[in-house]
A and B are shown apart, each in its own frame.
Chain A
Amino acid sequence: EIVLTQSPATLSLSPGERATLSCRASQSVSSNLAWYQQKPGQGPRLLIYDASKRATGIPARFSGSGSGTDFTLTISSLEPEDFAVYYCQQRSNWPLLFTFGPGTKVDIK
C-alpha cells in the first residue's frame, strides 16, 4: 500500500503570502497525484490532477509540481478564501485503493 505524507501539518501565513505545501509518496506514483481543498462543512474540491494540471475553474494562483515520490502545491499569493485544509491523493492498483494524505491546514497568521 502506498502511503502519502504531507508537510507541514499546519502552515500559518498572512493574505498575500506564498504557500508551499508538500506531499511525499512511499513509492513512486509517477505523475498520478491530485490535490484537493476542503473548507469546514464542505466536501473536498479538486484543484490539481496529474500533479500539475489545474481542474476546471481553479485560479492560476494554484500550481502543482513534482513526479515520482515528491510533490508540491503552491499558492502564489493567498486570498482570504484560500485558508482551508489541503489533501493529496493517489490510486494503487494491487489491491485497488484510493488513498489520501493526512492534510495540511493553511490558517491565518
Chain B
Amino acid sequence: QVQLQQSGPGLVKPSQTLSLTCAISGASVSSNSDSWHWIRQSPSRGLEWLGRTYHRSKWYNEYAESVKSRIIINPDTSKNRFSLQLNFVTPEDTAVYYCARISGSGKYYFDYWGQGTLVTVSS
C-alpha cells in the first residue's frame, strides 16, 4: 500500500519561499515507471497541477507554465521523498498543497495522494 506523508510549514511570508516535502512509503521515488507530482487547491483556482519529477534512466522535471519561473521539484533518493520549492510567493499562492503519484509511463491519473497541507501566505 502506497502512502504519501506531507510535511512543511503552514505559514509563509510574502516574497519568501514555500517548501514542502512528501515522504513515500510502499513505492520508490526512483521507480522507472512512476511519476511524482505536486498539485494545489484553492477556492479561486480549483485544483491546479504544479509539476512533476520522475526517473527514466535519468531524472526529469516538468512544470506548469503558470509557475515555471518560480518552482523547483527535487527528488531525494536517500530518504525516498520529493520536495516542492515555490519562490517569491504572494497571497495568491495560499492553497492546500497535495503531493500525488501517477503509476505507469503514459498514464495520466493520480492513484495516491498525500493528506494535504494548508499553506497561507501572509505577513
Taking a contact as CB atoms closer than 8 A, the residue among A43, A49, A91, A97 that contacts B114 in the complex is A43
- Please tell me which stretch of B26-34, B69-77, B82-90, B105-113 contacts chain A, meaning at least 4 of its Cβ atoms lie within 8 angstroms of it: B105-113
* A43–B115 CB distance below 8 A: yes
- Chain B 89-118, CB-CB to A under 8 Å as 1, else 0, gives 000000000101000000011110111100
Range class of the B interface residue count: 10 to 19
* A46–B111 CB distance below 8 A: yes
A71 at the interface (CB under 8 A from B): no
| Chain B contacts for A34, CB-based, 8 A | 108-110
Interface SS, A side: strand
- Chain A 34-72, CB-CB to B under 8 Å as 1, else 0, gives 101000011111100100000100000000000000000
* B65–A43 CB distance below 8 A: no
* A95–B65 CB distance below 8 A: yes
* A46–B108 CB distance below 8 A: no
- Chain B 29-48, CB-CB to A under 8 Å as 1, else 0, gives 00000000101000000111
B64 at the interface (CB under 8 A from A): yes
| Chain B contacts for A103, CB-based, 8 A | 46
Whose C-beta in chain B lies nearest to the C-beta of A92?
B108
| Chain A contacts for B48, CB-based, 8 A | 100
Chain B CB within 10 A, most for which of A32, A42, A96: A96
- From residue A66, how far is it (CB to closest CB) to chain B in Å? 15
Q: Please list 10 pairs of residues, one from A and one from B, whose beta carbons are closer than 8 Å in the complex, sorted by A's number.
A: A34-B110, A36-B110, A44-B98, A49-B109, A89-B47, A89-B109, A97-B49, A97-B65, A100-B47, A103-B46
Chain B residues close to A by CB (< 8 Å)? 37, 39, 46-49, 62, 64-65, 98, 100, 108-111, 113-116
Chain A residues close to B by CB (< 8 Å)? 32, 34, 36, 41-46, 49, 55, 87, 89-91, 95-100, 102-103
